[in-house]
Amino acid sequence: MENITYVTGNYGKYYSVSQKAQKAGIPMDYYRYDFEEPEIDDIQFISKEKAIQAYNLLHSPVFVADSGFYIEDYPGKSYYPGALVKRSGIASNVSKLLETMKQVQNRHCYFVDCLTFYDGNDTYQFFGVSRGTLSYEIRGNLDVTAKSNLWAVFIPQNCTKTLAEMTEEERNHRPDGRTSAIDSFLLWYQFIYKKQKVKRKKF
């Protein structure tokens, strides 16, 4: 089976996905690369552009996964930072984020994930949403599985712990009603894409 490569500068993201891929029997490689992101608040567009960049680097099937973080009542900028989460500096300085938000009562926020797979011919995109609230303090420990520093301040809905306080088992089975771009992609790749490739090879 042809390997697919996850291209990202964040090893924590790769580690988490590789565990799921291994259980599904999907061979996966890792290529570390820090992308130049377009200056636009559009997670779908950014993800597609990065997947094309990644394919042009490796010339083999690749996927990238991007996350936007949306805070409903961020002072002066509703639903900020969105797709600008990395460039805004919010993800790298959560202490400053909590200071900015300390007087804000509405702490509802959510992650939107967009995964883009590109095989050199077609792009396929998958989405996931995780809703919750922003804590008032940094809580928990960020280990190798952490995809973002925001895990230490994000409390999924119907939960009392931040993602950083949870065990991997608790995160995987949390009752927040989230959808997963990764899970959707792996199921599609295993049961639809691979079968389509086999059919094409027969003719």
**Per-residue model confidence (pLDDT) at position 203:** 45
Which residues make beta-bridge pairs with 141?
A: none
User: pLDDT-derived band of residue 199, with 50, 70 and 90 as boundaries?
Assistant: low
pLDDT of res. 168: 87
> According to the model, what pLDDT value does residue 202 have?
46
Of 113, 124, 82, 85, nearest in space to 181 by CA: 113
Calculate the average pLDDT of the chain.
92
pLDDT higher than threshold 70 for residue 198: no
Each residue of 73-113: pLDDT tens digit?
999 999 999 999 988 999 999 999 999 999 999 999 999 99
What whole-number distance in Å separates Cα of residue 101 and Cα of residue 103? 6
DSSP string for residues in 100-161: HTTT-S--EEEEEEEEEEE-SS-EEEEEEEEEEEE-SS--S---TT-S-GGGGTEEETT-SS
CA 159 to chain centre: 20
Say whether pLDDT at 65 is over 90: yes
Task: Write the pLDDT tens digit of every residue in 160-185.
Answer: 999 999 998 999 899 999 999 999 99
User: The domain containing residue 108 runs over which residues?
Assistant: 4-202
Tokens of 124: 């396929």
Which domain CATH number covers 184? 3.90.950.10
Q: CA–CA distance from 28 to each of 64, 122, 186 (Å)?
A: 12, 19, 11
Residue 159 to residues 64, 189, 190, 193, 200: CA-CA distances in angstroms? 29, 31, 32, 35, 46
Q: What is the pTM of this model?
A: 0.88
pLDDT score at 75: 97
Q: How many domains does the chain have?
A: 1
